[in-house]
Structure formats: structure tokens, C-alpha cells
Structure 1
């Protein structure tokens, strides 16, 4: 495989299971495209990356990051990815890179529907918002792949659409309105960029769906759950989502 693995986890315990499992499953995986909620001990991540043949982890920021640490780093070096450890890079918002001839667009940010239960400056920051300026910058030209934390609003993923319809966790109306506005920002970029594939985290539900005109969205499951990782072959743009049973060798 000439490609990457996409995942979304903020759990070092799960990462030390996942990275070796991915290496056993496909030794061609050297790049991880991380779809947000990155809040981990870089030393532990580097240790398991080194043991698992991973050369770089490229982090698209989500909504549960220590933005009090990350925003100053990104603002001090505008337009540059920030290397925070031997293997981990934080990507600006937005950011484009090319891997194996494919252009990948990273669009960070998402709305915290649980903000009511969080403390500003401690475990919630307004920096999570996807701003209009992010949308304009991200929409400049097409890309083959998008990596976001937030889901597009007009999602073809049945599991995500069902979750949005039912609100099973009873989040307040104002939080749902902020979430809808955040997803609408992703929609604008998704429409402008027209990628064949979009990977996102955030919804804690795994699934995939394809639009009528052939554009696929993959929603990654939460850490330690089915569908938390997807393998992307950048030669033929195929996606493989191995089960936990296969990854763990059961």
C-alpha cells in the first residue's frame, strides 16, 4: 500500500494498541492522518510510533485540544506546520500537503456540543470555531482528500444523519445550533474543494456513505471502537476499514 491511515483518538492507551496493530496489518503504513482531539503525551506517542514503523503523525485539530498551548505555537509560525515531537506535527487551519501525488486538505475545528459542561480556559476554548477566513482559505482550489474533525452537514453517512436527527444525549438547543453552523462551514469547503474522499472524527460513530455524484465521506468511530481507523491507498484511492477483531489478531 502506498498510503496512510486516518484515525481519531486522544487516548494514549488506545494508540499503543492501534499503531502496532496497523503495522502488523499493513507494513506499508508510515503516515497517520489524525482527525482531531489530540491531547496526548508526545513521548509516549513517539515511542509507539518508532516501534510501529510510523514516520509522521499529521494532526488536524478538533475541538478537544489544549488550544491555550497550540494556538500560540501556530500564530508564532503562520503558514507552517509545527513539529511538536519527533513524529507529531500540528497542521495550521487550514493546511494543504501532497502525499504520493495526491493533494490533501486539512480543515481543523468543530463545535463542542458539550460546552455547557466544560470550563472556558481549562477544557474549552473559543479557538475551536471554524471561521469564515478558514473557509475562504480552504476553498481556494480542489483537493483529492479532505481531513476534518467536524462532519459536513449534508452528510451521506447514514449513522451520522441518524445521530443528528435524534440528539440521543440531550444536548441543549443552543449547542445544536452552534453544531449545525459549524457543519455548514465544512459543507461550504466540501462543495468548493470537491474531494473524492473526506474523513472526519467528532461524531463518535463509525460509518461511510457516498453521494449521488460519487463523493465518499468516512466517519471514524471513537477510540477503542470499531471503525476508529481507516486505511487509504493513495494510488487507487481505495479505503479499507479493518475490524478490531482483525487488527487485534483475534
Structure 2
């Protein structure tokens, strides 16, 4: 090499450069592998959540079907007891609900009916939860139709709304999907005005007939954009 005018130091430098270049594909492959594993882990988590949602909804549907409507039409039946209802049903009710299960109970169980005794706090929480969920169905929804596909439509929209909420919160760093935690976070974001654009979009869906369900007006809480609330408050103060 000395005859070619190449020094020993230059040879060493070239050798190190070649060695570094050989390591680049290995580093890139390792990075891709880690990204692939992270994506798989997230998909597996989403699959587990969806599976739990389906199981929960199926259980709630079974519970609702066990509740006999005969008392409303004058037929006497013995009330359900511990022997007629599986212990698993009571256990399921004691566990934390998913958002989609609350959505399903609201639209299928119709707790706003005055003929049904209800827990006021649970009713209020469910009403507010459903109102927030509607904000995460940007394409709208049609739940007014009747028939055999009505329940399937409720399940589909509930799962879609829950998925939208969890993705929204996950992007903000909140990975806890527990019902209470999610609603607490949404209330906070509502007060901070972070849901204003979604509320405005939902109102447009209502006006254009692209958001339809069977919930009566008195059972629909009106979510106000924080900016408009503040503007209205300032107007009232100015008038005083």
C-alpha cells in the first residue's frame, strides 16, 4: 500500500468506516424489530379490549332479556331470585363497566323510562357518558330504526364511540381505559374547552339529521362549548 501512496493511518480510517457501514443495517433492523413488536403489543391490547367489550355486551344483553316485561302488561310473574339468576350475573354487575356497555344499557334498557325505578347518580353518570360518546362519532349515527338489526347497530356505534375516545385519550398520554378514569378526563377536557370543536360538529350533525336516536329530549344533556358559555356569561354581566 505504501507504493500506492496510502498511509497506514488512512488504511485504518477506511477499515473503521467499512466496519461502521456494516453495522448500519443491523441497527436499522433492530429498530424496525422494536417498532414491529410495539405495534403488535398495541394491537394485542386492542384485541383484548374488544374481546372484553363483546363479552360484557353479551352478558348485559342476557341480563336485559332475563328482565321480564310481563309486569308492565299485567301478567304476574315471580321476581327473579338468586336461584333463577346465575351468580355470575351479579358478579358482572359488580365489575367496572366499559363505555360501550353503558351505551348499550342506555339505548336498549332505556333507563329514562319513568316506569322504571332508577338510581339517580348512576342515571346521571350514564346520561353524561352517552352525551360525551356521541361527540366521538364524527360521521353521525342512526339509532332510530327498529327491527332485528337495532341491537346490532347499538353495539356497533357504542364500540366505535369507545374506540374513538380511547384513541383520543391515548394520544394525550392517558392509557387507562377504566370507565371512571375516562369520564373524569372527559369532564376535565370539557371544562377546559378542549371538546368545543367536537360539540360544534355534533350540533351540525343534529341539525342535518345525521345524528338520530330514540333518546327523548329531556334525557339528552346539552353540552355547551366553553367559549360560548363564557361569551354568554360576559353578555349577561354587561346587561346587568
For the pair shown, which has the larger CA radius of gyration, 1 or 2? 2
Fold shared per TM-score above 0.5: no
User: TM-score range with shorter-chain normalisation?
Assistant: under 0.3
Q: Name whichever structure is richer in strand by fraction.
A: 1
Q: Name whichever structure is richer in helix by fraction.
A: 2
